[in-house]
Structure 1
Amino acid sequence: MLKQKTLKDSFSLSGKGLHTGLDLTVTFNPAPDNHGYKIQRIDLEGQPTFDAVADNVSETTRGTVISKNGVKVSTVEHGMAALYALGIDNCLIQVNGPEFPILDGSAQYYVNEIERVGTVEQNAVKDFYIIKSKIEFRDETTGSSIIVLPDENFSLNVLVSYDSNILPNQFATREDMTKFRDKIAKSRTFVFVREIEPLLQAGLIKGG
Structure 2
Amino acid sequence: DGSATDFVVINYEPNVQPKPEVRFVQPAKAGSLSRGGTSEIIAEIKNVTAKSDIVLKVNNATNQDFTFDAAKGELRAQITLAAGVNTIGIEATNNAGTDQETTTILFNRVGSVQPPVVTISSVSQPTTNPLNPNVGRSTVIAAIEHVSSKDQITFSINGRRISDFSFNAKTGSFDCTFELERGENNLKLRAETPNGADEETRTINF
How does the TM-score come out when normalised to structure 2? 0.26
- Structure (1/2) with the larger helix percentage: 1
Larger RCO, structures 1/2 (Cα 8 Å, 6+ apart): 1
Higher-Rg member (1/2)? 2
TM-score (norm 1): 0.26
